Amino acid sequence: MAARRVAIIGAGASGLCALKCCLEEGLEPTCFERSKDIGGLWRFEEHPEDGRASIYRSVIINTSKEMMCFSDFPIPDDFPNYMHNSKIMEYFRMYARHFDLLRHIRFRTSVCRVSKRPDFGSSGQWEVLTESEGKQEAAVFDAVLVCSGHHTDAHLPLSSFPGLEKFEGCYLHSRDYKSPQPFLGKRVVVVGIGNSGIDIAVELSHAAKQVFLSTRRGSWVLHRLANSGYPFDFSYISRFTQLLQNLLPRNIISFFLEWKLNARFDHTLYGLKPKHRILEQHPTINDDLPNRIISGRVMVKPNVQEFTETSAIFEDGTREDIDAVVFATGYSFSFPFLEGFKVVENQIPLYKYVFPPDLEKPTLAFIGLVQPLGAIMPISELQCRWATRVFKGLSELPLRQDMEADIEQKKEAMAKRYVKSQRHTIQVDYIPYMDELACQLGVKPSLLTLFLTDPKLAVEVAFGPCTPYQYRLRGPGAWAGAREAILTQQQRVVRALQPQACRHARSSAAPHTLTVLFSIAMIAATLIYVSLSP
Ligand code: FAD
């Protein structure tokens, strides 16, 4: 029997698109959200509730608006390309209003337990126990979408830092960092060089007396702005560049990317050069760090070897007096409400990061449990489109052993490619992963058909940014506005910068033209290199 009633856990970005997909498929969703509002991580609050991911006041997203929007709901022209969290919330509210989602959400309601019904083998049903204002309630659902996020449990490896117990200053995890004011005039160590670590170090450096950015292994630092100031992801995440990545040896691609980053600032000179290659880490993006380093406001340091009452001793033997430490040491994830599911070393075996392979019935799906080289929102949305079709029995999962083989193969590939870290357990490459999901659903754009029937669109799909609208051109859930959205995507990027520009204003060369030219130069250089090598 096909599932009808669906429980959705969480009303962040993933929960919102889950609701919309359920409604689109004629399912009956109920979304449980433990806080009082939508938005999940992106809704800033000085004192967020326990169990909800939390950001600092100034967070601006690192994925640009055309790449992060839901696939049938473009972000308005006049919204900035990289949005502040308040603007992201504005977009989520527009989305929720437009698709009339709010009336399906039960706010201030936590899901405490999700367990299989005794007849799960035949019904596939779940019992969902919720708690709201001290009152517990149980209800039966045909399927469950877990949209509870993976940036909630602060990973604070205190035991790796001897002496911290006697440190007399204050220390906190980046989850609890809200703004630089409390650090005014202080000497602060930021531990960790992921996106949060660098962002916080840069922000603190405007207020603190001195900031030390401590890193175990360094990092390649990408920037938001690519050629001509276009958003980085908009310029580089395209089917054409993906093809190059598939064709060229990884070393060559790394060499060119690293060369390009070093041309902006030499990572060795700035003390940031890691031992690993650029494609072996989750990207770190920041435009301001080199400026703060060259002006001495941020000093790069190796790992902290030990804390004393008043100072940090680093692995290079240097010692700095400090007043505070911010641990930007990442997150781990867990699903305490899910009976019978264990996360081990930040890993949970899921077919295509969505379905547990060992359930008698495929009525449970995890949404947004990925760390993409790109935006999470369109991925969550495509996962939901697939999951709801599976719930309805319109799409079938492979046999258990085939799913497990796929999971194992992905795990091995990830371990081989990335530096070993708990940060790298759910990594996906944006286009390959989106295409994989799209194939399950039958919505992957067919370039051949497009070139034969609509060459103008085909060129934009092949060489332009791989925006989410591409997955609405055909198949279930096709959207009549997708073609227009693709053909006008660059205008929306430009109009955010030039609000007065008339609708058909031409801007400088399209960013992907420059990317294509750069790529051709890259191929030519590779061929010359190969032909000259002995
Ligand atoms: P969340 O936003 O975490 O929402 C989960 C929701 O579930 C919350 O509202 C929570 O209250 C609710 N919930 C949890 N447990 C329960 C329960 N038991 N019962 C009821 N409700 C529950 N992603 C990008 O794509 N681009 C970026 O540039 C980017 N930058 C980031 C920067 C920072 C500092 C951080 C921490 C993350 C960033 N991310 C970024 C990742 C971010 O997680 C996603 O963008 C997005 O928020 C994921 O949405 P979600 O709905 O899956 O999870």
Mean pLDDT across the chain, nearest whole number?
92
- Which is the closest atom of ligand 1 to the Cα of 196? 34
Q: How far is the CA of 380 from the centre of ligand 1 (A)?
A: 11
**According to the model, what pLDDT value does residue 261 have?**
94
Phi and psi torsions of 444, nearest 5°: -70, 130
Residue 508 has pLDDT above 60, yes or no: no
- Report residue 533's pLDDT band, with 50, 70 and 90 as the boundaries: low
**Over 90: is that where the pLDDT of 52 sits?**
no
Nearest of 159, 120, 165 to residue 141 by alpha carbon: 120
In tens, the pLDDT along 446-471 reads 999 999 999 999 999 999 999 999 99
Nearest by Cα to 407 from 364, 341, 353, 335: 353
Is the backbone of residue 521 left (phi > 0), alpha (psi -120 to 50) or beta? alpha
pLDDT digits (tens, 9 = 90+) for 289-315: 999 999 999 999 999 999 999 999 999
Give this prediction's pTM.
Answer: 0.93
Written as six digits, the tokens of 44 are: 């800033």
Pocket test for ligand 1, best of 9, 144, 148 (most atoms within 8 A of CB): 148
The two structure tokens encoding residue 348: 């949970």
Q: What pLDDT does 530 receive?
A: 60
Ligand 1 binding residues, C-beta < 6 A: 9-15, 32-35, 40-42, 51-53, 55, 59, 61-63, 68, 110-111, 147-149, 151, 195-196, 337, 368, 375-377, 380
Three-class HEC string of 127-152: EEEEEECCEEEEEEECEEEECCCCCC
Q: Give the tens place of pLDDT for each residue, 251-285.
A: 999 999 999 999 999 999 999 999 899 988 888 99
Are residues 364 and 146 in contact, defined by beta-carbon separation less than 8 angstroms?
yes
For residue 17, report the phi and psi dihedrals to the nearest 5 degrees. Answer: -75, -25
**Residue 529 pLDDT > 70, yes or no?**
no
Report how far ligand 1's centroid is from the alpha carbon of 285 (Å): 19
- For ligand 1, atom 8, name the residue with the nearest CA: 40
Query: In this predicted structure, what is the pLDDT of residue 414?
Result: 83
118 and 107 Cβ atoms separated by less than 8 Å: no
Find the 13 Cα to ligand 1 centroid distance in Å: 7
In this prediction, residues 216-228 reach a mean pLDDT of 93
Residue 129 has pLDDT above 60, yes or no: yes
Q: Is the pLDDT of residue 93 over 70?
A: yes
Portion of the chain with pLDDT greater than 90, in percent: 80
Provide long-range contacts, Cβ within 8 A and 24+ apart, for 493-501: 493/64, 493/65, 493/66, 493/81, 493/230, 493/231, 493/234, 495/77, 495/78, 496/65, 496/77, 496/78, 496/79, 496/80, 496/81, 497/81, 497/229, 499/78
Torsion over CA: 376, 379, 385, 387 (sign)? negative
Structure tokens at 133: 């204002």
Q: Tokens 């906190």 — which residue? A: 172
Q: Are 42 and 85 in contact (CB under 8 A)?
A: yes
Give residue 11 CA to ligand 1 midpoint distance, Å. Answer: 9
- Listed in sequence order, the DSSP H helices in 28-131 are 65-68, 85-98, 120-123
Contacts with 409 (C-beta within 8 Å, 6 or more apart), sequence order: none
| pLDDT attached to residue 422 | 66
Q: Tell me the residue type at 529.
A: Y
- Looking at per-residue pLDDT, the higher value among 506 and 209 belongs to 209
If you measure from the C-alpha of residue 154 to the centroid of ligand 1, how many angstroms do you get, rounded to a whole number?
13
How far, in Å, CA of 67 to CA of 235, rounded?
Answer: 10
Q: How far is CA 497 from CA 82, 214, 469, 500, in A?
A: 11, 35, 22, 9
Distance CA 351, CA 236 (A): 28
Q: Is the pLDDT score of 13 beyond 80? A: yes
Asked if residues 386 and 437 have their Cβ atoms less than 8 Å apart, the reply is: yes
